[in-house]
Amino acid sequence: MGGMEGRAEAARIVLEFTILFLPSNGLRKRVSEARLDVMFGNLARFAGLASLPLFLAVPGSAAAPWVFGKLPMVAQPLDSALAHTWDGIRKRNIQPWSDGLVHRPKSETPGDAVSEGQAYGMIVALYENDQATFNKIWDAAESKLWNDGNAYYDWRYENGRITGSGLATDADQDIALMLIFADALVKKGIWTEHQSPKNATYSARAQSILNTLWSKGINDGNLRPGANWGGGGTCSNGAGSWNCGDHVNPGYFSPANYRIFKDFDPSHAWGDVVEKSYTTIQKSPGYGKGLLPDWMNLDGSYPTSSALGYNPFYGGKALYKDAIRVHWRLAMDWMWFQEPRAKTFLENAAKFIGSPDKANFYTMEGSLVPAESTFTLSGEKGPSRSRREHSALTVGMWACAFLPRGTEAAEPWAKELLSFHGEGTDVWGLSRDPLGGQEDTAHNEIYFDQFLAWFGASSLAGRFTNVLADLNASDAATVQAWKNRPFVAFPTGNGAGAPMLTATLVKPGAWAVRMIDTASGKEWSTTGVSGSIEILVSELVGSDPLPTGTVQYEFRARGLKDTVLFERGITAVDRFRPRSGPSWIANGGRLDVEVRSGALLTLRHPDGRVLAQVRAETGSTSLRVPTSGLVLLEVSNDRESTVHRVLLLP
């Protein structure tokens, strides 16, 4: 389960909840709803819960409490994967080391740490509302990486010492953004005040980083790779000069950051950095395809310098692991600020890539990077893999290009991304590559791939929000909840026609509804951002025929940790007929249960008391119902034991 450290955790076991009632026209109708929260300590109250062919709703990190859901989200549920991945990152990248830094277990010098990794860890910790880990990472970066004389984080650390000095601008700008967000959370009373080992507060360090970025990382409004990092050329700003390179890394450009910096730090012209970033992006040789090279000059030409920074590939002329971040970074600017230039570039990318199976790394001409080009993990000790990569990393980043098209267009990307996250696992990656290549957990970096997949997934889930906008919303103090819980309204009379799915939230927010035909597995979905939900099933299925059997419905709303699940037949029926197990019908003061083979039937009160018990043979058996309201029907045989919730109206 997500967030086991420092958080109270519960197992949310979702059991079928069937409401049986007899309307005046004599037709039995039912609405099934799944929502039973059971703490680990209460499991002993229920006998026979070891094998439940029912639904499991995983709690944890549906959204941090300030994410109120104004960004749309896809219908595919990604919250569990996000929470579990964060657990995996802490387990593999932080906890094995005593210094608190985010490490790279499989880099060319295994176990090193870079400033970028500290930024990424702080991003995920903040959006997972994990202040303890956020502080742990930041404190470690302050102690191990902060350069007091130059007021930036040195970019690389290993074996107890700095092995790469200089400012990497992408890392420091992301750390500054997270510190600004953290400061806002403190001011709202959501997080508590904290000072680093350098006696810096969140806001004070954010300001010192922005001062340094402006004096040593930006030249004439252009974000450079960094100070004394990147090789070649000299940049200057006022009286100072530094070794900065003749080129830029456009995958570093993050206009959404600069818009927030502009409000936080009005003393510097951050608006110029927004404009210069888009000017350079538009000169990319792959602009029409939504492609950027890892490294380029400001005029769109390729660098001639051989010193292209850390670990360059293909002469910096391909969209590889640096540049691919542009889709996520520009998606931020579109989703947070509706920047049309971001939408145009992302639309170019969406047209070029087309479908999720094409997600990979590309040259500016639009061809895949060479399959024969490989790299080796863990220095020379680990496995090698091709740089041509269809993985959670590439799917997560390319998926962001489809966000301006809306959630329906992004839905297949969410599904493809989830295919790289096995149920119950805590890592993005498959144990075996379904296409026969090398995308498996043994060949994962267990660093860059995990973070970029998380960024893509959280963007699809509508969780990568502008925290300041969330906190400043007029209804921010209102806690999201169901005003009217999800319900399936069926037609009156003989039940002909399609039902309507309805629900109401206490305030407008992002929601998603999925409908799954349990016989065929086919699913339909829709999403929205509003306070009310009214969906005709006939409109949801479109041109498809209505399912005629049992259908599973799933309702989710951003800001709510639980997923409402229930099953219902499309047509009116007078008996409950699940896909397997017993069927039953309420008849006055008794419950008639039909089983397919011999079983022990036990009727329990929710507190565990036995109300009735009978050994049933194949066929129908009656149990006296001594009470109205909720009862638990337990059906046990030699193979399994199942529990069904039944609400009997008086």
The residues carrying an active-site annotation are 116, 170
Burial of 331 (0-12, 13-18, 19+ CB in 10 A): buried
Q: Which has the closest alpha carbon to 334: 343, 326, 345, 325?
A: 343
Beta strands in 431-499 (DSSP E): 482-489
* Neighbouring residues of 103: CB distance < 8 A, sequence distance ≥ 6: 93, 94, 96, 97, 111, 112, 113, 117, 447
Q: Which has the closest alpha carbon to 503: 578, 549, 568, 553?
A: 553
- Measured over the CA atoms of residue 179, residue 181, residue 184 and residue 188, the dihedral's sign is negative
As a whole number of angstroms, the distance between CA 208 and CA 225 comes to 18
As a whole number of angstroms, the distance between CA 275 and CA 368 comes to 30
- Judge whether 499 and 490 are in contact, CB under 8 Å: yes
Residue with tokens 């819960």: 49
Give the type of residue at 323: A
H or E element at residue 466: none
H or E element at residue 404: none
As a whole number of angstroms, the distance between CA 516 and CA 523 comes to 4
Note every long-range contact of 218-221, with CB atoms under 8 Å and residues 24 or more positions apart, other chains counting: 218/169, 218/273, 219/244, 220/276, 221/269, 221/272, 221/273, 221/275, 221/276
